[in-house]
Amino acid sequence: MESWHGTTILAVRKSGNAVIAGDGQVSLGATVIKPNARKVRRLGDGNVIGGFAGATADAFTLFDRLERKLEQHHGQLMRAAVELAKDWRTDKYLRNLEAMMIVADKEITLILTGNGDVLEPQDGVAAIGSGGNFALAAARALDDYEQDAETIARKAMKIAAEVCVYTNENLTVEKIENSK
């Protein structure tokens, strides 16, 4: 059975700004099924941004659950993410979901997995998906030369699209700007 591929999600945090960028490609084997999928969105009251890699229906289920957790925990992303990760790992239904997420608010960026992981990247850069390692390496290399998180994300995603056949340049970008 052929497998679905085609997601690169990149988060960059710099100068108090957080950006999550995702490409639009969904592939089945060697065929591009959809070139403009939206894998990045705002959550809750708009103060959290997130991107997903994996099965779309599973990711939307997880986004919905995360939004409920954000409501329950008054917008506290870390607490909501930990509670989601607990449910994801222990709930019979959620345990079978195949997706990963990167979420960010004005304070923190997190990677969430079905293994119960809630990981905060130490350098403010995180990536998931087929082209994630390419985008991650490019963003880290650009970090010393670019001051703007969105510029880093867009350039790194362009590089990932040039080297990963499962990544394209149709980006969705969401940003949370430092209010200071």
- pLDDT for the residue numbered 21: 98
| CA angle (144 as vertex; 141, 145 as ends), nearest 5 | 95
CB atoms within 10 A of CB 71: 12
Alpha helices in 91-180 (DSSP H): 132-142, 149-163
Closest to 60 (Cα-Cα) out of 20, 29, 98: 98
- pLDDT for the residue numbered 179: 63
pTM above 0.75, yes or no: yes
From CA 80, how far away is CA 71, in angstroms rounded? 8
Give the tokens for residue 71.
Answer: 């409501």
Active site residues: 7
In this structure, the strands spanning 4-5 and 99-104 are: unpaired
In this structure, is residue 179 part of a structural domain? no
Provide φ and ψ at 100, rounded to 5°: -130, 155
Closest to 102 (Cα-Cα) out of 5, 14, 18, 6: 18
Average pLDDT score over residue span 111-124: 88
From CA 168, how far away is CA 171, in angstroms rounded? 8
Mean pLDDT, the chain, rounded, equals 89
In this structure, is residue 99 part of a structural domain? yes
In this structure, is residue 164 part of a structural domain? yes
In this structure, is residue 132 part of a structural domain? yes
CATH number for the domain that contains residue 131: 3.60.20.10
Residue 180, pLDDT above cutoff 60: no
For the chain, what is the domain count? 1
- Of residues 33 and 10, more confidently modeled: 10
Give the tokens for residue 98.
Answer: 């195949």
Domain extent, residue 45, equals 4-171
In this structure, is residue 28 part of a structural domain? yes
In this structure, is residue 178 part of a structural domain? no
- pLDDT for the residue numbered 56: 76
